[in-house]
Structure 1
Amino acid sequence: MVRPTALVRFVVLACTGVYTGLLFLSGAELSTFASRLLASLPFISGATVLLWDAWLWKIFGLQQLTHRPSIRGLWRVTLTPTAESQIPPGGNRGPIDAYFVIRQTFWSLSVRSLTKESTSDSQAFFWNLRKNTDVSTLTYIFENTPKMSQSNRSPRSLGTCLLDPTSLSPTEMVGSYFTDRYTKGDITAELVDRSRSHASFDAADRHWARNVGEPTA
């Protein structure tokens, strides 16, 4: 699902800025600091909301209040299907190497999962703060699209994934998944870095090899 975050930010900032500018140019009496401040409030409020969405929520102290972990970036992932998973003959029974490419603001999030055989994209998500915890867990619905070379054996599918960050700025996550193809399994993920411009598994793997270790066999 495409979330036009940048467009929404631009529209909010442009509308509030134009409103404030027209108010100053309209000839309205704005002779005192208080009146000028009141006239600027729409623009200040809009800018504050945008700064919160993009950056302010990650500041130490504010993040502790929201319990929202910062998980944006590239993650190296291992998927381990259970023995009960209905994997067709010739399919990968795991462990399966993958990468997560995560884009995140306070109110938006997208997770792209890259494997050698398919790509998955998140469609909807929500955060959940469980009792006696300080960090929210992430649950999202995803759509998996196999490569054309795998489409006869592996049809398009929908699934749900749960990710449990270890802290507000985690370098590791664990989780689980299941799909409507009757597959399920466990997830472990390690943060590579905060980069997000990776279009394929091979591209992400090359980036990891250059910066961290050896490419996946």
Structure 2
Amino acid sequence: MRNITIKSSLYVLVGISAIAWFSLAYFSDLDLSKFKDFFGLIPKVVTIDLLIMAIFVKWGWKLKVFRGWLVPFPNLNGSWVGFIYSDWKNPNTGEKPPPIPVMLTVNQSFSHISCMMRTAEMESSSYSEGFIIDPDRQIKNIAYSYCSKPRISLSDRSTPHDGTAVFKIIEKPELKLVGRYWTERLTKGEIKLEFHSAELLEELPDDFGNHPVTENENR
């Protein structure tokens, strides 16, 4: 898929350059069969190419018309909400927690993506991210490694740790992220998220309630 996208990018760039060349020659009344006229347009054509590339990298890549053949990955920008289903066991009760409300915010550009996951007890930020896209094998994933920092008041049962999450990107019939995670604390689980907002929210929506472990401890 990567090679196909590179080829498509080259074809588009050559096509834009050709259109720019002939358009400039036409409106400037130049004869491209002449060496001076042909090569004299190079600076202007390069400027047009760079301008169009800058617009594409800034905004254009998000347009659905470019998906698949030119841009292999989807636009995941925004806030996603859902639940964590963890196999972690509460040391005080020996039981697994109920589903934990969670929010994932994705800040994505054409060349970079970062992920921040929040619950009522912790924040985890990504430090290594990437798409795993292979349409021929029906694979469309995003994976990242992260550092998780629980609230200091919870250090007796939850310590800072690193982990990795892999999400399957589901676009039809509804936009979802369904994945799994594992940590250096030897815990693992599943995460199910639905798209919530194009804004990068900084805390869980009020209607999602409290963290179930904290809630039980406060009773």
Using structure 2 for the length normalisation, give the TM-score. 0.68
Q: In structure 1, what is the equivalent of residue 66 of structure 2?
A: 62
Cα offset, 1:89, TM superposition: 3.6
Cα offset, 1:43, TM superposition: 3.8
Q: In structure 1, what is the equivalent of residue 141 of structure 2?
A: 137
Q: Secondary structure at the match of 2:82?
A: strand
Q: Is the 8 A contact 1:69 1:170 kept in 2?
A: no
Q: In structure 1, what is the equivalent of residue 52 of structure 2?
A: 48
Find the partner of 1:73 among 78, 87, 98.
78
Q: In structure 1, what is the equivalent of residue 209 of structure 2?
A: 216
Q: In structure 2, what is the equivalent of residue 8 of structure 1?
A: none
Cα offset, 1:135, TM superposition: 6.0
Q: Is the 8 A contact 1:79 1:185 kept in 2?
A: yes
Alignment pair present for 1:174 and 2:178: yes
Cα offset, 1:168, TM superposition: 8.1
Residue identity opposite 2:85 in structure 1: T
Question: Whole-Å Cα distance in 2 between the matches of residues 76 and 98 of structure 1?
Answer: 6
Residue identity opposite 1:149 in structure 2: S
Q: 1:142 to 1:170 in 2, by over 3 A?
A: farther
Find the partner of 1:162 among 144, 163, 166.
166
Q: Secondary structure at the match of 1:69?
A: coil
Question: Whole-Å Cα distance in 2 between the matches of residues 159 and 126 of structure 1?
Answer: 15
Equivalent pairs counted in the alignment come to 175
Q: 1:139 to 1:215 in 2, by over 3 A?
A: closer
Q: Secondary structure at the match of 2:143?
A: strand
Find the partner of 1:115 among 119, 132, 137.
119
Percent identity, please: 21
Q: In structure 2, what is the equivalent of residue 100 of structure 1?
A: 104
Q: In structure 2, what is the equivalent of residue 188 of structure 1?
A: 192
Cα offset, 1:128, TM superposition: 1.1
Structure 1 residue ranges without an equivalent (≥5): 1-29, 207-213
Q: 1:87 to 1:105 in 2, by over 3 A?
A: farther
Q: Is the 8 A contact 1:69 1:136 kept in 2?
A: no
Note the 1:189-208 alignment, pairs <5 A: 189-196=193-200, 198-199=201-202, 201=203, 204-206=204-206
CA RMSD of aligned residues (A): 2.9
Question: Whole-Å Cα distance in 2 between the matches of residues 180 and 86 of structure 1?
Answer: 15
Cα offset, 1:88, TM superposition: 4.0
Higher mean C-alpha displacement, 40-49 vs 61-70: 40-49
Q: Is the 8 A contact 2:89 2:96 kept in 1?
A: no
Cα offset, 1:169, TM superposition: 9.9
Using structure 1 for the length normalisation, give the TM-score. 0.69
Which structure has the greater CA radius of gyration? 2
